[in-house]
Amino acid sequence: MDKDKDAKQYEFVKLSLSVLESVITFLILFLFVVLGYSIELRQFVSQYFIGDYSRFLAYMFILGAGLMILSLPFDYLSSYWIEHRYSLSNHTFAGWIWEKTKGMLVATLVLLPVMFVFYYLLLNYPQTWWIWLSAFLFFFSVILGKIAPLVIFPLFYKFTPLHNEELLKKMSELAVKGKFSLDGVYRFDLSKTTKKANAAFTGMGKTKRIILGDTLLDNFTIDEIEAVFAHEVGHYVHKHIYIGIAVSTVTSFLSFYLANLFYVKLLPFFSFNRIADPAALPLLFLILSLITLIIMPFSNALSRRHERQADLYALQNIENPSAFKTSMIKLSELNLSNQEPHPLVEFFFYSHPSIKKRVAFADNYVERRRE
């Protein structure tokens, strides 16, 4: 089996499905607005519900259900069929359905307060809603980041404390260098859903956790796991989480500001008479999706820069820098990553540098260290 060929095919299919779903969803929403179906749905909802909030929720529920049904074939193909086609998934079909159901329920619970605040601001602060919504999303994301490791993640995976003394010793030494306490190192059963490997820092402040997938722990050497962990420490030392929150907040302000400008100007063109008209909201979502598309390459470029900084930190602070290279190669094999994507694909869609570039970076570092 040609792993490199499989990786390229896997990426092509996943990316094609994602782009196709986005394009079809955009076109359907656009036609939904242009052909007047959005106004018809608002009129239908108004016959059965009284009050702005109940009409808004009913409208959004019907629209959301329609979009979810539209996305189901793409979701099945991209997260179940293709994963089994390339032997990456451990999910049964029933297990996949159950995980998706849980994800939908959690997403609904998380989104409900956001939707209420969003519509409240549209109704009561039509000129400045975008300012207050951006501020709310900042605080909401911080709170969500704190509670997710304790409340949300355990709904999907089982977390158990890590007991590998040799690995914990190496991690403790890295924690000392990174000037943080090594509290809450957990193994989680990633293998129940996939053969892919992963590790991450999660949470913030007292809820900070270091989580290592069992697929990583079972397939990598101690030195390779140390290299992967050191990379995550690099993110912590360089404060990438906080930079990410700050950049995300600024991006939210800019996106909502620009969206509001275009939204207000386009409302009369589509026969909408107020900013809080539920029928007009798909128009706002279309504008935001275009702005997000424009911003995405710049966001990914910043992310790739952060990844390079974390890679360098790892290479500088582990005993065996060569293990970083082997860990990257193993990750690419387990995750079936395309080691050398097309430059345009990498520029637009990759939040990490390609594996080939990361390996070359490690090789250059090891060579310079030997000189």
Q: Read off the pLDDT of residues 97-133 as tens digits, 9 standing for 90 and up.
A: 999 999 999 999 999 999 999 999 999 999 999 999 9
Give a yes or no: residue 314 inside a domain. no
Please count the structural domains in the chain.
1
Answer for the pair 230, 341: CB distance below 8 angstroms, yes or no. Answer: no
Residue found under tokens 């969803």? 25
Give a yes or no: residue 256 inside a domain. yes
Average pLDDT of 240-247? 88
Give a yes or no: residue 179 inside a domain. no
Per-residue pLDDT tens over the stretch 126-138:
999 999 999 999 8
* Domain enclosing residue 124, as ranges: 3-155+240-295
- Angle 281-317/3-34 helices, nearest 10 degrees? 160
Per-residue pLDDT tens over the stretch 185-212:
889 999 999 999 888 878 777 777 888 9
- Greatest alpha-carbon span in the chain: 78
Mean pLDDT (the chain, rounded): 91
State the pairing for strand pair 185-188/209-213. parallel
Q: Is pLDDT at 288 greater than 80 in this prediction?
A: yes
Helix (H) or strand (E) holding 201: strand 199-202
- pLDDT number for residue 371: 62
Give a yes or no: residue 338 inside a domain. no
Split at pLDDT 50, 70, 90, the class of 164 is confident
Among positive and negative, which fits the CA dihedral 12, 13, 19, 20? positive
Query: What is the CB-side half-sphere exposure of residue 208 using CA atoms within 13 A?
Result: 13
- pLDDT number for residue 64: 93
Give a yes or no: residue 288 inside a domain. yes
Give a yes or no: residue 201 inside a domain. no
Q: Which of 99, 100, 73 is nearest to 192 (CA)?
A: 99
Residue found under tokens 């179906």? 37
Give a yes or no: residue 217 inside a domain. no
State the pairing for strand pair 199-202/159-161. unpaired
Q: Is pLDDT at 1 greater than 60 in this prediction?
A: no
Percent of the chain scoring above 70 in pLDDT: 99
Give a yes or no: residue 139 inside a domain. yes
Answer for the pair 337, 321: CB distance below 8 angstroms, yes or no. Answer: no
